[in-house]
Structure 1
Amino acid sequence: MATVAAAAGVSGQTVSRVVNGSPRVDPATRERVERAMAELGYRPHRAARALRTGRSHTIGLVVTTLATVGNSRMLQATADAAAARGYALMLMTAGDSVGEAFARLVEQEVDGALVLNEASALVPAAERPADLRLVVVDAPADHGLVVVHSDHAGGAAAATGRLLATGAATVHHLAGPADSFAASERERGWRETLLAAGADVPPVVRGDWTAEAGYAAGQRLGDAAAVFCANDQMALGLLRALADSGLRVPDDVAVIGFDDVPEAANFRPPLTTVRQDFEALAHRAVALLVAEIEGAASPASTVVPTTLIERSSSR
């Protein structure tokens, strides 16, 4: 660092501020220091830096699975958000024991951890190390946790209202797993919208997020004129089941999904769906965790808006 400081014509403290991403450096000075670092081949020594600062600049990400679209997209978005703030990401699959995942992360000396979706439901009962800072994605805002989640209920309400606007007497719901916070919130938004409209509330048909579950549900939805699916994969399976039964979408049955996966616009017909902003969700979660790690602010739970994307499947 002393060599870099001499080459850039600045103090060692200025080099340290540049290395640590401090905003208290003039942009032109920062550029000069970064150019000197590149020319000299200087790289910060992460282990030595951790010994000096007490922080590893690494955050953990705890998941139970990466098989779901939401988790895989959140992994990519979280990795990008962490890198933008100068943090490395350590992935930990939890299985049924989030407490063990926390213990392993503490052993790796991470500065904090994010917990995603299905793993979030396991946090309240898990043993949490006192010094492990946490932000939980998709969980109720209780148990003293800092939580970030999409507006699942609001998105479901918008989808249900759109389907009622097609003239359907009611809207059937292909829901996600009963133990999923996201699924329960989407079911709540659907149910409350029907009750507010004075419409009948049909029995819920439940699936496991997969297209296969959506296809199987197609056999149980009877004469439904409108279906709100808790995710796009189940909607895809439902579309195939309806086509196999000789029913046309949207002429016979209107369908709306949730997530807006990249392929949704290429379903047949193109799928109306509720878009989750995974990038905004990840950036907000990482920002809250980093703020807690660096003591910059007191983190507060956040709800990220969703957007109804209208395509052909809902008329």
Structure 2
Amino acid sequence: MSDDKTSRTANILDVARLAGVSHQTVSRVLNDLPNVRPVTRARVEQAIAQLRYSPSPAARALVTRRTRTIGLVTPGASDFGPTSTAMHFNVAARAARYSVETVSSLDADAAGVRSIVEGLLRQRVDAIVLVVVDADVLEAVRGLDLSIPVVAAASVARRSPLIVSIDQYRGARAAVRHLAELGHERILHLAGPQRAPDAIERVRGWRDELAARRLEVVEPLHGDWSAASGYRLGADLDVAPDSAVFVGNDHMAIGLMSALRERGLRVPEEVSVVGFDDVPEAGYLYPALTTVRQDFAALGELIMQKVLVAVEEPESATADTPLPTHLIVRQSTRPVTR
């Protein structure tokens, strides 16, 4: 690659990789902020010179008017995934010397979301981050004509430079694959809310893995992510010996296992159960819960990375592959014995 080509394509992430630092550190050097060690600053400046990197004039103009504040819109519920995402995003934002103005949204309608966004705009935030638990919220915000970037944490099939996610679809397929490879031929699904993007993608993965293996599809039952809804659905769930249940999240799985125990059905001897999230309690249940782990720390960091690029180098923004999940096998699943 020629020097001219490098100078045209280099962005803040290229500088960070070459200097062996985070993009937040590069941003601090570019904006002449404190708390950067001299040796680190020199390494970043050397990478800037080597790549002939220079922020675009438009981005530099924006820097002078920035408040270094990000508006964070979170759902009103305290579910583990959205709460963890918001927490780790706040950590990443502080590391980049940004403050975060957090607003919880109880309304999923366009008017409610618009009101929250307009309130954040009056505070002159540099960007808005949206933690999406309802597909209607994402569509409502997409329909607004805003002068600042909006980065969404949302599990959707389409890719966008301003959408980040964890791969719910492949995580669900891994969970169902694990149960199928244990010999289960009837794999039920207790799903999350019907409009929740995470639930939609997990249902899609469950269906596709069953279809690929030519296994029976029994329409999923939908809960609300709570242990109470898992218990309620589990009380009447049509499970036969050697059935398995892929549950939309760990809290619903906890409720399900309690209901199965009250019905005299043993986990995993008679029913295998897999959850999703790997909440801190999952490894301490009896039996310990097999589940799909999500890296919320990495998600929070990726959201902040997208914000920095959108604010400082919008022309270099690219769509990313969703972050991977990891199947954690514990004692709530076991091979079928014929």
Q: Could you say which TM-score interval applies, normalised by the shorter chain?
A: 0.7 to 0.9
Please list the CA deviations of residues 31-72 of structure 1 after superposition, one character each: whole Å capped at 9, or x if unmatched. xxxxxxxxxxxxxxxxxxx99820011111111224111111
Q: Secondary structure at the match of 1:218?
A: helix
Q: In structure 2, what is the Cα distance between the partners aligned to 1:88 and 1:165?
A: 47
What do residues 247-291 of structure 1 show as CA deviations (whole Å, max 9, x unaligned)?
A: 111000000000001110011110000001101111111101111
Written as runs of structure 1 = structure 2, the 5 A alignment for 1:56-75 is: 56-75=67-86
What's 1:27 paired with? Answer: 40
Greater relative contact order (Cα < 8 A, sep 6+): 2
User: Which deviates further from its counterpart, 118-127 or 291-300?
Assistant: 118-127
CA 1:185 to 1:86, structure 2 compared with 1: closer, same or farther past 3 Å? Answer: same
Structure 2: distance between partners of 1:174 and 1:58 = 39
Q: Secondary structure at the match of 2:267?
A: coil
Q: What SS does the aligned partner of 1:311 have?
A: coil
SS in 2 for 1:227: strand
Give the Cα separation in 1 of the matches to 2:30 and 2:214: 64
Q: Superposed, which structure 2 residues align to 1:1-315 within 5 Å? A: 17-19=31-33, 26-27=39-40, 53-96=64-107, 97-118=112-133, 121-126=136-141, 128-140=144-156, 146-224=162-240, 225-295=243-313, 297-315=316-334
Q: What is the CA-CA distance between 1:300 and the residue it aligns to?
A: 2.1
Tell me the TM-score normalized by structure 2: 0.77
Cα distance, 1:21–1:147 mapped onto 2, change above 3 Å: farther
Aligned-pair Cα RMSD in Å: 2.6
**Equivalents in 2 of 1:155, 1:119: separation in Å?**
20
Between the aligned partners of 1:131 and 1:294, the Cα distance in structure 2 is 14
- 1: distance between equivalents of 2:173 and 2:167? 10
Aligned-pair distance for 1:145?
A: 6.7
For 1:245 and 1:153, how far apart are their aligned partners in 2? 31
Range moving further from structure 2, 128-137 or 184-193:
128-137
Unaligned runs of 5+ in 1: 1-13, 31-49
| Letter in structure 1 aligned against 2:291 | T
Cα offset, 1:28, TM superposition: 7.7
Question: Which of 94-103 and 135-144 deviates more?
Answer: 135-144
Q: In structure 1, how many angstroms separate the alpha carbons of the residues matched to 2:32 and 2:220?
A: 55
> Shift of residue 15 of structure 1?
9.7
**1:27 partner letter:** T
Deviates more, 1:137-146 or 1:90-99: 137-146
Aligned twin of 1:34: none
Q: Secondary structure at the match of 1:19?
A: coil
> Any conservation in 1 of the 2:132–2:138 contact (CA below 8 Å)?
no
CA deviation vs aligned residue, 1:144-191 (integer Å, no higher than 9, x gap): 772111110100000001111221112000001110111010001001
How many Å separate the matches in 1 of 2:148 and 2:80? 27
Contact 2:70 2:128 in 1 (8 A): yes
Structure 2 unpaired stretches of 5+? 1-27, 44-60
**3-state SS of 2:215 partner:** coil
Distance 1:249 1:111, change over 3 A: same
What is the identity, as a one-letter code, of the residue corresponding to 1:85? A
Equivalenced residue count is 282
Check whether the contact 1:121–1:181 (CA below 8 A) recurs between aligned residues: no
Distance 2:249 2:166 in 1: 13
CA drift of 1:299 comes to: 3.9
1:129 Cα deviation from its structure 2 partner: 4.3
Counterpart CA distance in 2 for 1:168 and 1:80 is: 42
Percent of pairs identical after alignment? 37
CA apart distance, 1:140: 2.8
Change (3 A) 1:223 1:27: closer
Distance in 2 between residues matched to 1:120 and 1:295, nearest whole Å: 28
Residues 92 and 300 in structure 2, CA contact (< 8 A), matched pair in contact too = yes
SS of residue paired to 1:67? coil
CA deviation string 1:50-105 (max 9, x = no partner): 99820011111111224111111112111101111111111012222211111011
